[in-house]
Amino acid sequence: MTFSPVPLRSAAWLGASLASLLLASPGRAMSLNDACSKFATKLGSAQASGDTAKAQKIYAEGNKRIASHFNGASCPNVKAP
């Protein structure tokens, strides 16, 4: 029997991508710099794909999550799409 992966829906991908922004290896807290770096990478990938709506959603959700997990902080080097 062969395994055929099922493509993820974009909402599932987005959720997984955003969750990875704030998760590091178990037992190690992620710094704001690390979170911003991952956020910038995810946003850059969405922008490179040409999917403006996905990039805007990643930006909005990523900003909200970073602020909630880092006491209102933001990533000044990550610009809106």
**At 30, is the pLDDT very low, low, confident or very high (cuts 50, 70, 90)?**
confident
**At 29, is the pLDDT very low, low, confident or very high (cuts 50, 70, 90)?**
confident
Mean pLDDT for 10-33 is 62
CA atoms within 13 A on the CB side of 51: 13
Name the burial class of residue 48, with classes exposed (0-12), middle (13-18) and buried (19+) by CB atoms within 10 angstroms of its CB: exposed
pTM of the complete model: 0.64
Q: Over the stretch 31-57, which tens digit does the pLDDT of each residue have?
A: 999 999 999 999 999 999 999 999 999
Owner of token pair 């990643």: 58
pLDDT of residue 20: 60
